[in-house]
């Protein structure tokens, strides 16, 4: 059974940083594209970043370029999202997603507020 378990969210002040993690199991992690998708409270869904199987290709939403970094450790079956220079508008539940959305984690909430 595919499992994706996010962690690392929390309350952070504007301008602060967090590192989100996603522990993957139940599939061959090193053969799949992985993504981060976010959902602001009461709002719709927004793709944030993609990373290919070996980490050599990365794509970002324009509004997070230069502030967020997606990475992976295939030896640890883990996906990461380093989020820096956080803004109020980054407040959202961040989901770890496999492939084109076939599996989602439960999400981790990032709240940016002073």
Partner 1 sequence: DVVMTQSPLSLPVTLGQPASISCRSDHSLVNTDGDTYLNWFHQRPGQSPRRLIYKVSNRDSGVPDRFSGSGSGSDFTLKISRVEAEDVGVYYCMQDRHWPFTFGPGTKVDIK
Q: Which of 30, 75, 81 is nearest to 54 (CA)?
A: 30
| Least distance CB 14 / partner 1 (angstroms) | 24
| Least distance CB 73 / partner 1 (angstroms) | 23
At 29, is the secondary structure helix, strand, or coil? Answer: helix
Strand partners, 4: 24
| Least distance CB 8 / partner 1 (angstroms) | 17
Q: Can you tell me which of 50, 51, 83, 110 binds partner 1, judged by CB under 8 A? A: 50
Q: Which stretch binds partner 1 (CB under 8 A): 19-27, 55-63, 67-75, 81-89?
A: 55-63
Residues that bind partner 1 (CB under 8 A): 44-47, 50, 59, 61-62, 95, 100-102, 104-107
């Amino acid at each position: 059974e595919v499992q994706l378990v996010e962690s690392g969210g929390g309350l952070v002040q504007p301008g602060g940083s967090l590192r989100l993690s996603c522990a993957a199991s139940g599939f061959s992690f090193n053969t799949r594209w992985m993504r981060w998708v976010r959902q602001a409270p009461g709002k719709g869904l927004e793709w944030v970043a993609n990373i290919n199987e070996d980490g050599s290709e990365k794509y970002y939403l324009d509004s997070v370029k230069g502030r967020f970094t997606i990475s992976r450790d295939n030896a640890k079956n883990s996906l990461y999202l380093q989020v820096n220079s956080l803004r109020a508008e980054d407040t959202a539940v961040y989901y770890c997603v496999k492939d084109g959305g076939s599996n989602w984690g439960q999400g981790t909430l990032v709240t940016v507020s002073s």
